[in-house]
Amino acid sequence: MSGYDRRLVEHLLPAVWDVEAAYGIRNPTAPDADMPKGSIDKKSAGILFAHLADIRRGWATAPLSLAERQALLLRYGADVHDDEAGVLQGVTARAARYRCERGVGKIAAHLNGDIYVDGYATLEGEASS
């Protein structure tokens, strides 16, 4: 399995809440639609479905705080932007954005078997998690 980075986790997160979102997610190993069909690398042919299973497992098992879960749900599950998410969570848009960034980082680290190292100072009285 390939390593998970922030970009890939952000790309896959909507599929946690919307099973139909998988139809809009492109397999990163698939050739462009206008390219001629050739041989398939069988080792990576089913990687999209493995990624979808992993992101759901990561959401369920990563050590996320309640605030991070709420922020991720608002952003990637309900497509709510930072300003509105901040209002709904009672924090600034910046704090809502950082909660998402930390949550994505924690999921990526968890899926890679790494320990997440928080690069942000505690925001607006939040206890660090």
Indicate yes or no: pTM above 0.85.
no
Question: Residue 120: inside a domain, yes or no?
Answer: no
Residue 120, pLDDT score: 52
Question: Residue 15: inside a domain, yes or no?
Answer: yes
**Which of 59, 58, 66 minimizes the C-alpha distance to 127?**
66
Question: Residue 36: inside a domain, yes or no?
Answer: no
Residue 117, pLDDT score: 85
All residue ranges of the chain with pLDDT < 50 are: 1, 121-125, 128-129
Question: Residue 127: inside a domain, yes or no?
Answer: no
Range of the domain at 27: 6-31+44-112
Q: What is the DSSP string of 25-85?
A: PPPTTSPPTTSPP----TTTTTHHHHHHHHHHHHHHHS---HHHHHHHIIIIIS---HHHH
The total number of structural domains that make up the chain: 1
For residues 50 and 58, the answer to whether their CB atoms sit within 8 Å is no
d(C-alpha 27, C-alpha 66), whole Å: 31
Provide the terminal-to-terminal Cα distance of the chain, rounded to the nearest Å. Answer: 28
Question: Residue 18: inside a domain, yes or no?
Answer: yes
Residue 122, pLDDT score: 46
Question: Residue 122: inside a domain, yes or no?
Answer: no
Question: Residue 1: inside a domain, yes or no?
Answer: no
Question: Residue 86: inside a domain, yes or no?
Answer: yes
